[in-house]
């Protein structure tokens, strides 16, 4: 079998970087051996393993004025990391690390206050695109309460009719390719991992969602994109990443 060593240590040597940087890249989900994602930084691999590291894009500015900054967040960046490159801004909401799309930041505290109130009052219109496993042939409204458990910086949500909070998701098929369906998703509530949990609950997990579905060899990420967000008279739209439909329908 030959010698084995922890994945992050091998990556550090191979790429000429620190152990902590190598571990961070594996945790981010951008390190591969062939077509397989390296999931556990401390997992042991043969010492001759050859790694491939995906390049993480920079956030693109969609719109900016004196009170608000709208970004198109790339996958593999946390919302906090995406915001870090901009001075004097505060996140108004968050997207999961692998989710791309519209991310809003307030530049003025007066706007932050009004926007926070709009989110709380559900006066925000949010549209997502995603690819799911299986065939969805007609529009569906999913109304199932969600309970989120947060522990050690990790969040997990599940359907819980007794303790869960109200959650409403509307889905509509846009395209069918093979055994997968592209959906347009509108959410009325913003529970943690809401779309992912609701789609799993009806037997159609998002393609590439390793936490609530199954990993897919055809994609290196979860195929969920925040397409549009309307609030306080603004309407922000973010283009889907290049190749989003190719990997979804693959």
Q: What is the DSSP string of 188-227?
A: SS--TTHHHHHHHHTT-PBTT-TTTS---TT-SS--EEEE
Check whether residue 191 and residue 113 sit in a common domain. yes
The residue annotated as part of the active site, out of 80, 96, 152, 245, is: 96
Check whether residue 64 and residue 151 sit in a common domain. yes
CATH of the domain at 34: 3.10.290.10
Q: What integer pLDDT is reported at residue 199 of this predicted model?
A: 97
Check whether residue 31 and residue 68 sit in a common domain. no
Q: What integer pLDDT is reported at residue 1 of this predicted model?
A: 43
Distance CA 219, CA 208 (A): 6
pLDDT tens digits, residue range 143-164? 999 999 998 878 899 999 999 9
Check whether residue 12 and residue 69 sit in a common domain. no
pLDDT tens digits, residue range 105-127? 999 999 999 999 999 999 999 99
Mean pLDDT over the full length of the chain:
91
| Mean pLDDT in residue range 61-73 | 97
CATH of the domain at 205: 3.30.2350.10
* Count of domains observed in the chain: 2
Burial 175-201 (b: 16+ CB within 10 A, else e): eeeeebbbbbbbbbeebbbbbbbbbbb
Mark whether 96 is an active-site residue.
yes
Q: What integer pLDDT is reported at residue 224 of this predicted model?
A: 96
Domain boundary among 53, 77, 92: 53
Q: Which of 97, 250, 94 is nearest to 182 (CA)?
A: 250
- The percentage of the chain sitting over the pLDDT mark of 70, rounded to a whole number, equals 96
**Domain limits at 99?**
60-248
pLDDT tens digits, residue range 169-216? 999 999 999 999 999 999 999 899 999 999 999 999 999 898 898 766
Q: What is the pTM of this model?
A: 0.84
Check whether residue 32 and residue 73 sit in a common domain. no
Supply 96's token pair: 């999961």
Check whether residue 27 and residue 109 sit in a common domain. no
Which band of pLDDT confidence, cut at 50, 70 and 90, is reported for residue 250?
low
| Mean pLDDT in residue range 65-73 | 97
């Amino acid at each position: 079998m030959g010698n084995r060593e922890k994945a992050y240590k091998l990556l550090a040597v191979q790429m000429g970087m620190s152990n902590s940087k190598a571990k961070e890249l594996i945790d981010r989900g951008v390190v591969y051996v062939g077509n397989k994602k390296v999931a556990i930084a401390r997992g042991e691999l043969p010492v001759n393993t050859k790694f491939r590291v995906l390049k993480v894009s920079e956030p693109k500015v969609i719109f900016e004025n004196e009170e608000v900054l709208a970004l198109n967040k790339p996958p593999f960046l946390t919302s906090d990391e995406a915001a870090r490159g901009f001075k004097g801004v505060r996140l108004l909401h968050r997207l999961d690390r692998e989710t791309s799309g519209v991310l809003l930041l307030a530049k003025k505290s007066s706007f932050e206050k009004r926007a926070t109130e709009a989110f709380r009052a559900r006066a925000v219109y949010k549209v997502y695109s995603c690819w799911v496993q299986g065939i969805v042939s007609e529009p569906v409204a999913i109304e199932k309460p969600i309970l989120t458990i947060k522990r050690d910086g990790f969040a997990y949500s599940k359907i819980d009719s007794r303790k869960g909070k109200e959650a409403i998701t509307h889905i509509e098929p846009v395209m069918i390719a093979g055994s997968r369906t592209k959906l347009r998703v509108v959410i009325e509530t913003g529970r943690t991992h809401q779309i992912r949990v609701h789609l799993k609950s009806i037997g159609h997990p998002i393609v590439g969602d390793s936490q609530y579905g199954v990993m897919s060899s055809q994609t290196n990420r979860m195929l969920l994109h925040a397409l549009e967000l309307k609030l306080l008279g603004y309407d922000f739209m973010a283009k889907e990443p290049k190749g989003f439909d190719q990997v979804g329908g693959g």
